[in-house]
Amino acid sequence: MARCQKGFNETFRKMAESPTWEALCCQVFDHERSMRAGQLSFTSAGQIRLLAEKLHITSQSRVLELASGTGGLSLYLAKVTGCHLTGLDLSPVAVKIANKQAVLQGLSPRVNFEVCILPELPYKECSFDAVVSVDSVYVVPDKISLFRGCYQVLKPGGIIGFYTLVKRRSFPAESAMCARARFWFPSQPYCRLLEEAGLKDILKVDLTEEFIQLARQWLRAIQENRVLLEKELGKKAAKGLLVGDISTAWALAVEGYVGRALFEAQKPPQAKSVVYSHLHNESAHGVCMASI
Ligand SMILES: C[S@@+](CC[C@H](N)C(=O)[O-])C[C@H]1O[C@@H](n2cnc3c(N)ncnc32)[C@H](O)[C@@H]1O
């Protein structure tokens, strides 16, 4: 876990200091300057507004974001809806950058970020109206504990919504994604895991076409700005961005092996209190995404 934290810390520190990275996020993902805390995912400003609409997030809502990174997307969500938001991430560097931006943008203390290693969720039962996450649920190996924790911290009638890559069919054995499949994709489909955690009205919105388009634009923009990115982020990170997971995921999406979706599920409005005494299994902190 310490190695994983260190990898993400380094990546986020470099990204925060890279004007080229910030400019590319605005150009490719239609981000406003207010999202300058950045992102490490495939999310357009429109997808954040879609999340707000589907989860009925308003200025009265208390929202928890899982693995919020440097908080660019959370700050935008809080800005457009007026909601109260707490973002969690294992990287202290990312949390510091996110909190600094919240202050600079006048969103603190309505929006704040905390260091936390998921699936731990140190909040009282029924604390949040919505739980959101963007391209991050896959980083937690013990997903059933994570979803059970979400069930607990959601108010009755509260909704969880998250974007993630999904496997559509078996990969070619020689593909890089196949080697990483156990990390990227849960052994059970997300819908079944959500249901097992007690959540209902599960919906899946397919966004694969949008993902293919965004990933293509992202890869092109990275290629065109390679020299600057190598200078600002370092050669290893710039190369990782081009030939690493993004291009592999994009290529497999084009071939129909993977997709990207928005999952949504509700804690039943009449839900009674359930306390899971054994939230974590042994693998909970075992695996972590390598940094780019
Ligand atoms: C692909 S990034 C996405 C970040 C952010 N959601 C975004 O869209 O920019 C994955 C994030 O998960 C965080 N992370 C990885 N494992 C985690 C864990 N067990 N608990 C909390 N955060 C974790 C990383 O620090 C990183 O910020």
CATH number at residue 79: 3.40.50.150
Each residue's pLDDT tens digit, 69-97: 999 999 999 999 999 999 999 999 999 99
Q: Could you give the number of structural domains in the chain? A: 1
| 41 belongs to a structural domain | yes
Q: Is the peptide bond before 19 cis (omega within 30 degrees of 0)?
A: no
CA–CA distance, 281 with 77 (Å, rounded to integer)? 32
**Is the shortest distance between the CB of 69 and ligand 1 below 6 Å?**
yes
Residue 90 lies in a domain: yes
Q: Is 146 in the pocket of ligand 1 (CB under 6 A)?
A: no
Q: Residue holding tokens 């603190």?
A: 108
pLDDT of residue 280: 44
Give every strand in the sheet of 200-206, ordered side by side. 111-115, 84-89, 62-66, 128-134, 154-167, 258-266, 200-206
Position 241 confidence tier, pLDDT thresholds 50, 70, 90? low
CA 136 to ligand 1 centroid distance, Å? 5
Instruction: Tell me the percentage of the chain whose pLDDT exceeds 70.
Output: 91
pLDDT digit string, tens, across residues 253-272 = 999 999 999 999 999 999 87
- Asked if residue 29 is part of any domain, the answer here is yes
Give distance in angstroms: CA of 159 to centre of ligand 1.
Answer: 20
What is the separation of C-alpha 196 from the centre of its chain, rounded to a whole number of angstroms?
21
Residues 150-168 have pLDDT tens digits of 999 999 999 999 999 999 9
